[in-house]
A and B are shown apart, each in its own frame.
Chain A
Amino acid sequence: MKEVSKKIVMVGDFGVGKTSLIRRYIDNTFSDEYLVTIGVKISRKHIEVPSRSCRAQLLLWDIEGRTDIKSLIDRYLVGAAGMIVVGDLTRPKTLESIQEHIERIDRLAPDAKVVVAFNKSDLCDPLPELERYVPKERVLTALPTSAKSGQNVENLFAVLAEAMCR
């Protein structure tokens, strides 16, 4: 079985639920209280992709949304193989900035595979028109997710892991 390690970066505006998504997905919270001061938190998850007979180790870089040092975010993005862009369904402004995050990714890690999470779907019924927020050709998938109910969280990471094994 092939084994790969990949750097995955989570980006999104402050308070969209990046950290909660990771918490929901991983119970390993090794660095939870750590490194927050430098604006990034790192977690790890192993995931198997049977269709590609591959085992991927994802090193998840959760970038603090509030950090005001833009150049620092840029540095953290470099070298990423995958990106999870998160928006908050209850705050349209955070959905508008998804495009902006993707542009930044294109500049700094053009080969990175991108998935989009429209988070807090449990608070939003019915769902708004989502397609206009994502450039379809650039992202692998864009799913409504909920860290609270767990909706689509596994799916989102599975899509990304599959891409990492390609």
Chain B
Amino acid sequence: MSDYETLRTLLVGREIDAIDTLAKRIDALAKELDDPDAILKRLSPQIDRVIERNIGLNRDALVDTLSPIIADVLSHEIKNSGEVIAEALAPVIGKAIRVQIKTQRDEVVDALYPVIGSTVAKFVSQSFRDLLDTINAQVQHTFSTATIRRKLTAKLKGIPESELLLRENLGWKVEALFLVHKETGLLLAQKNAPDIEIGEPEMIASMLTAIRSFVNDWLARGGSESEINQIEYGDATIYLEVAGSCYVAVVLRGLVRPVLSETVSRELSAIVEEQMEAIRNFSGDLSTLDTEKIDTHLQKILDVRPENESAAREARSRWPLYLIGLSLLGVLGYGGYRTYLSYHNARIETALLERYTHDPALALYRILPHVQTRTVVLEGAVADTVQREKAERIAQKWAAGRRIENRLVVAQAPVTALERRVRTLEKRLPQTLPLRRLSSRFYFDYGSHRVASRDRDKIDLIASLMQLYPETKILLVGYSDRKGDKKGRLTVAKKRAESVRRMLVDAGVAKGRIALRASAAYPEDLNASTYSDAEARRVEVHLVGEQQRKDSSQ
């Protein structure tokens, strides 16, 4: 080593080593920079911390950066690994729908209505067809000379048998249609039959909306949202169907038939589908809607005719009639003796049918007596064994010595159209029908505590309501006028309340369900300026606590 080198080593030897080491490290780093794998390896443990820090420092900026690609990322992922995404989202889907329904119910209904509406309509119409087929099959299969004669009897009386089974042949006709904006009650469109005149359709739309609001408010319980579906008045029906932001009211004579409700669902569905946004945002300006299109759909509802459904049914119902005719020919050709016997049997059968129809317990059921030369066969269904035995006893009385073959089935089946209707209506009633008000007052003559005879009806009404709502308790508050001292006023007020209670107890209300109070003050609605003695001498009836209907648990 030269002196120079020795001197250098002594002076900067350590630094030179350090520089060498540094150079090596820089080389290594430069290599790493060219190698993406190496960079990733170094960065990845820190990425989470970087994101976490950014969220903490500037959340909005991060959202702004990421949001444009979120949709792309999602669709890419769904495309490539849809099942994984589905699995990840599945647990919250139900919750999301619930939240959506809670906050934007109308939108959800709008979106689902076209699908659900037609599915339900399809299901209902199929069930109805099945029911009809069953009845037809029954009619066809229970052939005998007796049934033929029963048909004839029914014909002679002007009541076709099929009508007794189901009010199939009732005529009906659509008279008018209203398409109404649900929230504001404003009329979106209206149509009526040429021979029907509708005055003030806009007001009718508002009134129908008020009635809907009233009924929905009155019957809504526990936050559930239901809809009023039908208003019946005599032979007229207003049929209502709601879809999201609008509803249609169909005014018709007769009862709603499946062919009509199907058409209403279909056309309303189409209207909602085509103009969902415009209807939702409707603010009173009809030019924002495509009224022509709406009219076309409404016209289709107006054009529905009963023939459309009877044509469909006719094909099915015709051939049993041919058979009836053929069998009748056979019967006529069989000879006088047989005819006489058959005639006699038919008379017994008619008599029995009449007994069953007029018996209060059996009238609801379809009991078919088949009277033969030696036997009487009872067919059909009743609700319990008591009725079954009763039907048999009646048959024995009229069978003129014939043997009774009781084939009546005990079943919980709705048998007549009437009963079916009652059950449908019962289903529509809410499970717990609240008794919100029982406002009634009894007025008294001066100084008297005798309940006036004109108030007998009120007593009966309250008693029957209390029977219907067995949990109900009432409070009777007695008042008097301003005459006399306070003590005297209280006494007569109390006596008045007691008189009313006595009459209610006589009418069958348990005493424990009636509380009494007497007041010497003015009744609440009377003050110094409106005070009238005659109005003040009274007993008020108030409800106490929550009211539930007797049959609400069924």
Contacts and interface: CB of A to CB of B under 8 A. Distances in A.
A39 interface: yes
A44 B210 contact: no
Contact of B203 (A30, A75, A79): A30
A75 B185 contact: no
A135 B186 CA distance: 29
B202 A59 contact: yes
A97 B206 CA distance: 27
A5 B210 contact: no
Contacts of A80: 184
A59 B180 CA distance: 13
Interface in A22-69: 30-31, 34-35, 38-40, 42-44, 57, 59, 61, 69
B206 A61 contact: yes
Nearest to B186: A5
Contacts of A78: 183
B284 interface: yes
Given A4-B284, A5-B284, A30-B200, A59 B210 contact: no
Given A7-B185, A57-B202, A75 B213 contact: yes
B181 to A, nearest CB: 8
Contacts of A133: none
B286 interface: yes
- The DSSP consensus for interface residues of chain B is helix
A100 B203 CA distance: 29
A35 B207 contact: yes
B286 A3 contact: yes
Contacts of B284: 4-6, 57, 81, 164
A47 B166 CA distance: 52
Contact of B214 (A6, A7, A39): A39
A81 B183 CA distance: 11
Nearest to B216: A75
B440 to A, nearest CB: 16
Interface residues of A, number: 29
A62 B214 CA distance: 14
B85 interface: no
Interface in A62-89: 69, 71-72, 75-76, 78-81
A52 to B, nearest CB: 13
A132 interface: no
A2 B186 contact: no
Interface string B85-128: 00000000000000000000000000000000000000000000
A40 B202 contact: no
A25 to B, nearest CB: 15
A41 B287 CA distance: 28
B459 to A, nearest CB: 23
A61 B210 contact: yes
Given A2-B285, A78-B183, A7 B211 contact: no
Contacts of B286: 3, 5
Contacts of B181: 79
B246 interface: no
Given A44-B200, A79-B185, A81-B283, A59 B206 contact: yes
A164 B186 CA distance: 14
B217 A59 contact: no
Contacts of A76: 210, 213
Nearest to A76: B213
Interface string B172-204: 000000000101111100000000000010110
Contact of B207 (A7, A34, A75, A81): A34
A78 B185 CA distance: 10
A39 B207 CA distance: 11
Nearest to A78: B183
A19 B550 CA distance: 40
Contacts of A72: 213-214, 217-218
A78 B436 CA distance: 23
A31 B217 contact: no
B210 A40 contact: yes
Interface in B273-292: 283-287
A40 B209 CA distance: 11
B133 to A, nearest CB: 43
Given A7-B186, A38-B214, A57-B202, 4 more contacts: A6-B284, A30-B203, A34-B207, A79-B185
Q: Which 5 pairs of residues, A with B, have the shortest CB-CB distance?
A: A79-B183, A79-B184, A38-B214, A4-B284, A75-B213
29 contacts: A3-B287, A4-B284, A5-B286, A6-B184, A6-B186, A7-B186, A30-B200, A30-B203, A35-B207, A35-B210, A35-B211, A38-B211, A38-B214, A44-B203, A44-B206, A57-B202, A57-B284, A59-B203, A72-B213, A72-B217, A72-B218, A75-B214, A76-B210, A76-B213, A79-B181, A79-B184, A81-B283, A81-B284, A164-B284
Interface of B: 181, 183-187, 200, 202-203, 206-207, 210-211, 213-214, 216-218, 283-287, 436
